[in-house]
Structure 1
Amino acid sequence: MGIHVRGDDLLHLGGPNQFTGFCGIHTGRIEARVRVLPGPPSAVDAGWDAISEVTLWSPSGRLSVVGLMGGTAEALTDVAVPRGLIRVRVHARDRLHETVRTDDDPPERHELHIWAVSEEAPWRTVLAGPGGRAWEQKPAKAAEWGMLSLVPRPSERPAILPPLPPDPYEDDSGLPRVTVVRHRPAPVGISEGVLPAGDLEVRLARVDDETLTWSWATADEPIFPQPLDALPDDEPSIVRLTSGPDGVTLRHEGVLGRHAFALGVIWEHLLDTVGSYPWMEPLRGQAAEATARAEEARRWKAARDAEQWGGAPPSDRVRGLLGQARSLARIDRPLLDRLDGLPAARQRATACWAARRAMRVAGLERIGWVAEALAAAEAGRPLPQPFSEQNGGAAFHRLLSDPEVPHTIITLHLPARASGTRRVSDVLQQATAFPALIALANDDPLAAAIDAVYNAAIAHGDDRDRFLTEAHAALR
C-alpha cells in the first residue's frame, strides 16, 4: 500500500509487514537503533518529540530498516524479532530539515521498540510531533488495497519458466492464527449477508446477537473470464461485536496472520461505511481488461487455427494428434473431416489403401521386405519390429541402403505459408512415400489413416491432386 493512505506525521502504513517512517532530513545521516522488548512497555518514554505505533506481521522473525534509496546499516539489517505479530513503537526527535539545521543542532534520532503481540490492533499516534500536519486519512482506499491483496489474480508468469522459489521471509509455518481488533466509541452494527469480492465472496452468517462467522466462498456469478477458485482461507473465522461503556469492540478471531493487516483496514472501512465496497470498482475494471484480453486471444487463436486447419478447427481428437493432421488439412480439409468421421475399421482400411498407393507410385511395391510388411498390415497383423520401433528408424535406414530400391527425384509443391508463398523442393520419392507404410504401425486407426493418406499424397508429386480425388472416391 502506498504512502499517504493511512498514517500520521511519523509513519504511514505500507502493508502487513512494512511501514514508512518520516525523517526531518531529506538526504543525510540519522541515528537509529532497534530495541526488542520482552513485553509491552509500561510507560511512554520521555524525551521524544513524536511517538507512533503500528502492528506488523513478521513470519520470518527478522526485521530490517532500509533507507529511502535502499541504503542499510548492518546493525539494522535482519534484526531478530519475535515470529508472528509484533508491535512496533517508533520514537523520533530533532527532526529538522537540512535547510534549517545548523551545526549546533543535535543529530536526528529514531528508535524502534518491538514486542510480540497476539492481536492486530490499528496504528495510533502516541505523541504528536510539534508542528505536525494532519494527514488526510483514506480508509476506503486502504480497504480497497486490503481486499485486492486477499483476492489477487493468478500469476501471469509463463508456464515454461521454472516456478519462483518460496520467499523465506514469508514462511509462516507453525505460527498460530491471530485476532484482529477494532474499536468504535459509538454504536455500530454488522449485518449478516454477503460481501462481494469479484470471483469470490465473504459470507457473514449470524450465530447469535454478538457473533457471526466469516467464510470465503466462490461467487455464484464470477466476473473474470477465468474465475478464481482458490479461496484465501479455507477455514471459517469468528467475528464478535461486543458493547461496553466506552463503545463497541470488534474482534475477528482465528484469522491467518498474513491476512490480519488487510482484514483490519477492511473492517475500519466497513464499521464506518455500511454497504460500501470500494474494491469492486477496480475489480470490475480488471475483469473488463481480462475479458478484452481473452477475446483478443480468442480471435487470434481462431485466425491461427483457420490458417493451420484451413477453416474452423476440427474435432478435439484430430487436434490432439501429433502426426500430419494439420498438413493434410492445408492440402485437403474436407478429406481430413471425412477420415475423422469414418468408423475405426474403415480408417484402418483407408490407411492400408493409401500405404499401398504410396508404395506403388514409388516403385516399392515390388521390394520383397517392403511388400511383406504391407501384406502383414493388410491382413491385420503387426508390422515387423524394424517398422514399429523408434518411428521405423531401422526400416528407413534399410530403405536408404538397399541397392534394389529405386531412387527417383520428384518436385514437391508444399502448402503455402501464411505469406502466400509456396515452398518447392526436390526430394527422393521413395523417402517421401515410405512414411505412409510406417504410419500403419500406429495403434490409432485415425492417426494411421491421416498420416498414410498425407504421405501418399506428397509421394505422388505433381499428381497429388489426382491422388486426393481418388481418395475421396475410395471413401464413398
Structure 2
Amino acid sequence: MTGWARLFVSYCQYEVFTVPGASGLDIYTLGDGLLHVGGPNQLTGFCGTHTGWIEARVRVLPGPPAEVDADWDAISEATLWSPSGRLSVVGLMGGGAEALTDVAVPRGLIRVRVHARDRLHETVRTDDDPPERHELHIWAVSEETPWRTVLADPGGRDWEQKPAKAAERAMLSLVPRPSGRPAALRPLLSDSYEDDAGLPRVTVVRHRPAPVAVSGAVLPAGDLEVRLERVNGETLNWSWATADEPIFPHPLDTLPDNEPTTVRLTSGPDGFTLRHEGVLGRHAFALGLIWDHLLDTAGSYPWMETLRDQAAAATALAEKTRRLKAERDAEQWGGAPPSDRVRGLASQARSLARIDRPLLDRIDALPAARQRETACWAARRAMRVAGLERIGWIAAALAAAEADRPLPRPFTEQNGTAAFNRLLSDPEVPHTTITLHLAARTSGTRRVTDVLQQAAAFPALIALANDDPLAAAIDAVYNAAIAHGDDRDHFLTDAHIALR
C-alpha cells in the first residue's frame, strides 16, 4: 500500500491509467459521479475540488474485498487491462506524486475500486474541513465485467449513459485504419507498457435480469465482419473474417484476432448471463461494450455509420490522389503512362517522352534485336553530329557495339566515368557548343543554356553498355536528340523513319 500522497487536480478530475497516452472513450460516455471509464487502460476520477490539492493512495489487494467499507462517501469500480503491471494516478493537466507513479499491480485484468470522501468544492471548504481523500483498491481478476456504483454519493448527480456511442468507439478500436506512416520511415519503437506477452486470454461477462435472445448472425465491421455461428442451444462461436464486400478503397485484411472464441449463454433464477471466453485481454473492454449494446439493442450497429463516413472520405481521397497522379503522369510522360516495363527502367524514358512520346512508344514496341540496332544507330548519329565519329578510340568502341561485342572497360565501369574523363581531356576531341531549351519543372517556363556538344552526345555511346536493349535504345535516342541542339526535330523525324 502506498502512503497518502498529495495530488494536484484540475477541473475536478484526475486520471488512472496503466498505459500512458492510450486512447479510448470520450469522457462523459459511461460512468457515475465518481468514476468514468475511458478505455481498456484508463479511467477518470471525479473530485469535489475543482483546482487544487487532494490526497490519494493505492492499495493492492490479494483478492476482492470481503465487504464494502461504508466509511466513505462514494465508491465505484471498473476493470482495467494492465499489460505491464504498472498503474499511475495523475492530475488531469499532468503532474503526479512519485508514490502514485508506476505502482506495481498484477499483470492482466485488474479491478479498480475507487473510494472518495469529503469531496467539497473549494468555494465551500473551510480550514476546519478534512482534506479530500481518494483511495484505490486493486486486485487481479480473470473476467472483464462492467463498471458499477458500489456506494452512491447521496449528493451525486445522475449521468446520462451512452452505450451506443461506447459500442461505436469500441468496435472502431478493434478495426482501426492503418496509420498512414510512410514505409520508408523507421518503425516506431514498441511501448513497454503495452507488452502483454505471456498473459492468458480472458473472459468477458455480461448479466441481464431477464432472458435475451442471442442468435447466429454476421456483425458488419466495415472491411471485416464478425461471424456468430451457433454450436448448440447455449453456445456460439465468435470469429473474425474479411467482408465479402469491403467498403474502403484499400481494404483491411488483418484480423483483430485469428483465433475463434466461444460465447456461452446461461439462464437461471437470477437472470441471463453471457460469457465470452478466450478473448485477448486487450480486447476485453471493447468486446464488453459491444455486448452491452447488442444485448440491449439487437440488430443495431452504430459503428457502421462512422465506418461508412470514413470509407466515403477515404474513397474521395483515393480518387483525388488517382486524379492528381494521372495529371502528374500525363505531364511527365506526355500522355497516359507507358508500359510498366518502361516505367520501371532507370533510364531517360520520361525525358524522351516529354520531347517525343510516340517515339518512346515505338521503341517500346520493338523486338529486342531491333531495340539494340536502334541504340547503335542513335549512338552513331550522336557521334557524327558531335564530330566524334572519327576519333580513334571512340570509333573503335562504337564499332564493337555494332558488331555485338562488349564495349571496352572504361565505357562499362562506373557508368563510363573513365571514358567520359578521357573525352574531356583528349586534345583531338573538338569543342563545340549547342543551345538547349529546357523546361523548368516548377514554373513551366523554359530556360536556355549552352552546353558542350561532345559532352551531350557521349552518353549515347555509353548507353550501349546497358545489357537491357530497351533501356539502351531509349537512352541513346534521347541523348542523340539532345546532341543535335536546334536540329533536334530533324533528328527525331529521322528516328521515326528509321523505326518503320
Tell me whether the two structures share a fold, i.e. TM-score over 0.5: yes
Q: 1:69, 1:312 → 2: CA distance?
A: 55
3-state SS in 1 of match to 2:53: coil
Residue of structure 2 equivalent to 1:380:
404
Letter in 2 for 1:402: D
Partner of 1:220: 244
Q: State the 1:46 CA deviation.
A: 2.6
Quote the residue 1:148 is aligned against: 172
Q: Partner of 2:362: helix, strand, or coil?
A: helix
Q: Does 1:80 align with 2:126?
A: no
Residue from 439, 448, 461 that aligns with 2:463? 439
1:207 pairs with 2:249: no
Q: Secondary structure at the match of 2:52?
A: coil
Give 1:224-243 correspondences, 5 Å limit.
224-243=248-267
1:413 partnered with 2:440: no
Equivalent residue, structure 1, for 2:141: 117
Match of 1:130, SS state, is coil
Match of 2:287 in 1: 263
Other-structure match for 1:16: 40
In 2, the alpha carbon distance for the partners of 1:13 and 1:136 equals 13
Q: Distance in 2 between the 1:151 and 1:46 partners?
A: 42
Q: Which residue of 1 aligns with 2:415?
A: 391
TM-score by length of 1: 0.99
Which whole-Å CA distance do the structure 2 matches of 1:341 and 1:414 have between them?
28
1:407 match: secondary structure: coil
1:313 maps onto 2:364 in alignment: no
SS class of match (1:215): strand
Corresponding residue number in structure 2 for 1:58 = 82
CA distance in 2 between counterparts of 1:191 and 1:345 reads 68
Is 1:332 the counterpart of 2:364? The answer is no
Q: Which residue of 2 aligns with 1:342?
A: 366
Task: Show CA shifts across 1:36-76 (max 9, x none).
Answer: 11111111123100001100000011000010111211000
- Structure 1 residue 416, shift from structure 2 partner: 5.8
Q: Distance in 1 between matches of 2:262 and 2:307?
A: 26
RMSD: 1.0
| Cα deviation, residue 421, structure 1 | 1.4
Aligned-partner Cα distance in 1 for 2:229–2:199: 27
In structure 2, what is the Cα distance between the partners aligned to 1:333 and 1:313? 10
1:340-399 CA distances to partner (integer Å, 9 max, x unpaired)?
111111111101100111111111111111111111111111211111111111111111
Contact 1:34–1:113, Cα closer than 8 Å, also in 2:
yes
**What amino acid sits opposite 1:35 in the alignment?**
R
Separation of aligned partners in 1, 2:399 and 2:204: 79
CA deviation digits over 1:185-238, x for unaligned, max 9? 111011112000000000111111111111111100000011101111111111
In 2, Cα distance between equivalents of 1:415 and 1:433? 20
C-alpha contact 1:307 1:418 (8 A) present in aligned 2: no
Segments of structure 1 that go 5 or more residues without pairing to the other structure are none
Q: Hey, what does 1:93 align to over in structure 2?
A: 117
- Superposition map of 1:175-194 within 5 A: 175-194=199-218
Q: Identify which of 458, 465, 473 aligns with 2:482.
A: 458
Question: Are 1:331 and 1:415, in contact at CA under 8 Å, matched by a contact in 2?
Answer: no
Matched residues in 1 for 2:447 and 2:60: separation? 75
Secondary structure, aligned partner of 1:456: helix
Q: Is 1:435–1:452's contact at 8 Å kept on the other side of the alignment?
A: yes
- d(CA) in 2 for partners of 1:353, 1:61: 74
Worse-superposed segment, 73-82 or 366-375: 366-375
- Indicate the percent of aligned positions where both proteins have the same amino acid: 85
Q: CA deviation at 1:290?
A: 0.5
Partner of 1:130: 154
| Paired letter, 2:209 | P
Asked if the contact 1:330/1:415 (under 8 Å) is kept, the reply is no
1:168 counterpart letter in structure 2 = S
Residue identity matched to 1:424: V
What do the CA deviations read for 1:311-368 (whole angstroms, capped 9, x no partner)?
1111111111121000000000110011111111111110110011111111111111
The structure 1 segments of at least 4 consecutive aligned residues displaced by more than 6 Å after TM superposition are none
Answer yes or no: is the 8 Å Cα contact 1:54–1:123 preserved in 2: yes
Residue-pair matches, total: 476
Determine the structure 2 residue equivalent to 1:430. Answer: 454
1:396-423 deviations in whole A, cap 9, x for unaligned? 1111111111111111122464633112
What are structure 2's unaligned runs of at least 5 residues? 1-24
Q: In 2, Cα distance between the equivalents of 1:129 and 1:161?
A: 51
2: CA distance, partners of 1:176 / 1:401: 75
2:383 paired with 1:359: yes
Determine the C-alpha separation between the residues in 2 that align with 1:72 and 1:406. Answer: 79
Please list the CA deviations of residues 5-46 of structure 1 after superposition, one character each: whole Å capped at 9, or x if unmatched: 111111001000000000000111101000111111111123
Secondary structure at the aligned position of 2:89 is classed as: coil
Amino acid at match of 2:414: Q
Secondary structure, counterpart of 1:29 in structure 2: strand
